[in-house]
Amino acid sequence: MAPALARVREEDEAVKELILEALDVIRSDDFDRYFDLFAEDAVWMMPSSFKDVHQDEARSFYRFTSKFKFDQETAVDEVVVSGDVAYVRVSFDGYLRPKVDDGSPPLRSVSRHIWILRRQSDGSWKIARDIWNTPKVSR
C-alpha cells in the first residue's frame, strides 16, 4: 500500500476506502461508476482550461474511456484529513490501451490530480473537486 495511504488514521478509514475505490474503478471496465464517487456539485478543473466542468460535461469528456483500458502506475503522494474535508495528491503514469485490437498504438497518459473530498451529511465521503494537470513527458 502507498505510504501516504498507510498513514491515514483509523478513524479516517472511509477516506482511504474512497481513494482505493476510485483507483479501482479507474482501472476497471466500468468507468461510469467513477461518477458515483463524486458529490452532486462536484467540479473538475481541467488542464489548459479556464472553464470549470461539472458532472454532465465530465461524463461527456470521459466517454472515450469506453474504448480504452487504463494501464497506469498510480502513486498516492499525500492524504490529509481535516474535519469534514480531505485532500489527496495522486499521480498516474502509463498508457491507454485500445480495448479492441485495431492496430492502434497505446496512448501515453500522464496526469497529476488533487482530489478534494468532502464528508456528506450521511457521514460518507465523496470527491468534491478534481484539479488536474497533464505534465509534459519526455519519451
Judge contact between 131 and 111, C-beta under 8 A.
Answer: no
Question: What pLDDT shows up at residue 32?
Answer: 85
pTM of the model: 0.86
User: Is 31 a domain residue?
Assistant: yes
In this prediction, the residues of the chain whose per-residue pLDDT falls under 70 are 1-8, 10-11, 138-139
106 neighbors 93 (Cβ within 8 angstroms): no
For residue 40, the domain's CATH number is 3.10.450.50
> Which residues have a Cβ under 8 Å from the Cβ of 126 and sit 6 or more positions away?
18, 37, 38, 39, 42, 117, 118, 120
Task: Give me the domain span that covers residue 104.
Answer: 3-133
On whether residue 139 sits in a domain, the answer given is no
Q: What is the pLDDT of residue 67?
A: 85
Cell numbers describing residue 4 = 501516504
pLDDT digits (tens, 9 = 90+) for 47-87: 888 899 998 888 888 888 788 888 999 999 999 999 999 99
pLDDT of residue 30: 82
Q: What is the mean pLDDT of the chain?
A: 88
138 domain-assigned: no
Instruction: Decide: 70 and 111 in contact? Cβ < 8 Å.
Output: no
The domain total for the chain is 1
Residue 114 pLDDT:
97
Residue 122 falls inside a structural domain: yes
User: 52 in a domain, yes or no?
Assistant: yes
Q: Please, what is the end-to-end C-alpha distance for the chain in angstroms?
A: 28
